[in-house]
Structure 1
């Protein structure tokens, strides 16, 4: 029978090396053992430069690090069997029930309220690893997590994702995502807005905007956008609207644009290019395009059109009623 290894009695230099070799989920589990283990991990662990912390709150709530699936998970305390052995840890100023996932061996913390559970594990892991959150994925019942995170950290979130197929965000929630929440790079909205929702403000500068149900987006909205990747599914924009947007880009509007996709269901490329065909060049060969944020498109039978500063874009109608504007040179996704 082997005796326990006195890990916390190891001198700091080799102990720091051991901690750096340990997986994040193992460190989280170890941190709950005692205040000393928590302090040692917080003090000695080196945070890799490319490490990012992500919180998934739209389906199964969990925290993960880049290149690692999960470091800590939350569960609903109503679904844990009373016959299981009860184990508790102290978190968020209270004792909460915990168990180890039987297959992948990360901890599950049980809460009655999903939002409170997500807030608690987010606060715990960000403090333990001395790292800010970079991505938040929320749904209707965890929406307030965005504001909670932004109120705790000085660094703005890089990416905000709203995913809810069963409930629409309120007008205030949509306005908050589009106008008020601190987000430096990407906003993705995968939910249907309320039928009477209108966005009356100018779009702020955002690198990547992806909206799965964008019927509410008007040409006036489009002309205020300043993005690199813009993706609008189920859009109500007309061919005339798209023509206005293309002319806007040709005259210097939306100057950072690399890829624009709008699926309206009824694109007529000649109406989109109305008044511009004289300077357009038909491109019959297939081209593969990758945007700065990893979106890929196959372009065929498009038209090349050049801005006054020499920048060229391919304008292409695709079979599912989507207009694509791809600006060259393409940029390989390395984010």
Structure 2
């Protein structure tokens, strides 16, 4: 016999709804319009959720993910109608959507891929009364950056742009669009191919952490000066002279920077590197330590010290493979 949940006392209802996980809440909201309204009102009366909401739109992967304490779960997915197998009895039509429950979450089928992505995000954020905090996209989904910027005042917390799994072509336009328009407070990660002639002319940030992890060969000293971040990670760099950046920092530029890590594409690039005399860089026995987010703290020894005009110092270390810069005695800030 069905349980008449909507006839239950409000106290009982609140207890029942409070124990539902996000994917269970979304699934339950498709039971009836009245129950959806009940859930929606419940989340408008509660304190802000401890769960974060992310949108994923990469190749054929379109879904909304919610996470708490590092544990993620899919809550709603969008799939192109061509993938629908109507011979199965699992497919039903709800609210005008062809719907199927699979792998712990609901799947909605759409003719238009972009419309599908927008619809599932709108549905979840409206249900939980929450903004999108994370965005992970591929080069064909850069439209999502501008869409997120327009639909909510609060910037993203985390953003990632990923290169296609089976495509090595360049994506200059996509990368340029993202760099010029993305707003993210905690993390921006770029992992895409651009041409050797690509140049970014603009500013990026403010953000806590910027990671151009695998294809940073396009990054110039001018770019570094225009990246407003606390931590910067550049991979596969072709930089051959970081003296202009150090001069910029010494004069008060990049004031929020606490950590810079540059790994070089060609190990011989920095073999004959030297510091310009006007930087007044001194050899030191101090030990630099920085608690990076991706693993064990970075430690540099037998390095060099450079002092900013306001007295703040940084320790730098360079060899054929990498360059590290750790700013000393600076409290973390947003």
TM-score using structure 1 length: 0.83
Cα–Cα, structure 1 residues 56 and 203, in superposed 2: closer, same or farther, change >3 Å? closer
Cα–Cα, structure 1 residues 50 and 95, in superposed 2: closer, same or farther, change >3 Å? closer
Deviations 1:252-301 (A, max 9, x none): 1101001111122346487353327864243376x65214x556553233
Partner Cα distance (1:269, 1:247) in 2: 21
Cα–Cα, structure 1 residues 145 and 279, in superposed 2: closer, same or farther, change >3 Å? closer
Aligned residue runs from structure 1 range 39-78, under 5 A: 39-45=37-43, 46=46, 48-58=48-58, 60-67=61-68, 68-78=72-82
Cα deviation for residue 27 of structure 1 reads 0.3
Cα–Cα, structure 1 residues 76 and 331, in superposed 2: closer, same or farther, change >3 Å? farther
Cα–Cα, structure 1 residues 262 and 220, in superposed 2: closer, same or farther, change >3 Å? same
Partner Cα distance (1:118, 1:61) in 2: 6
Give the secondary-structure state (helix, strand or coil) at the position aligned to 1:145. Answer: helix
Cα deviation for residue 235 of structure 1 reads 1.6
> Which position in structure 1 is the counterpart of 2:226?
224
> Which position in structure 2 is the counterpart of 1:186?
187
**Which piece of structure 1 moves more, 170-179 or 270-279?**
270-279
Cα–Cα, structure 1 residues 160 and 289, in superposed 2: closer, same or farther, change >3 Å? same
Q: Which residue of the other structure, out of 229, 233, 258, is the alignment partner of 2:235?
A: 233
Give the secondary-structure state (helix, strand or coil) at the position aligned to 2:206. Answer: coil
Partner Cα distance (1:145, 1:224) in 2: 24
Cα–Cα, structure 1 residues 253 and 53, in superposed 2: closer, same or farther, change >3 Å? same
Partner Cα distance (1:218, 1:278) in 2: 23
Preserved CA contact (<8 Å) 1:161 1:187: yes
Deviations 1:308-328 (A, max 9, x none): 433232212367x12111223
**Which piece of structure 1 moves more, 162-171 or 151-160?**
162-171
Give the secondary-structure state (helix, strand or coil) at the position aligned to 2:277. Answer: coil
> Which position in structure 2 is the counterpart of 1:250?
250
Aligned residue runs from structure 1 range 260-299, under 5 A: 260-264=260-264, 265=266, 266=268, 268=270, 271-275=273-277, 279-283=281-285, 288-291=289-292, 297-299=297-299
Give the secondary-structure state (helix, strand or coil) at the position aligned to 1:316. Answer: strand
State how many pairs are aligned: 322
Cα deviation for residue 84 of structure 1 reads 1.7
RMSD of aligned Cα (Å): 3.0
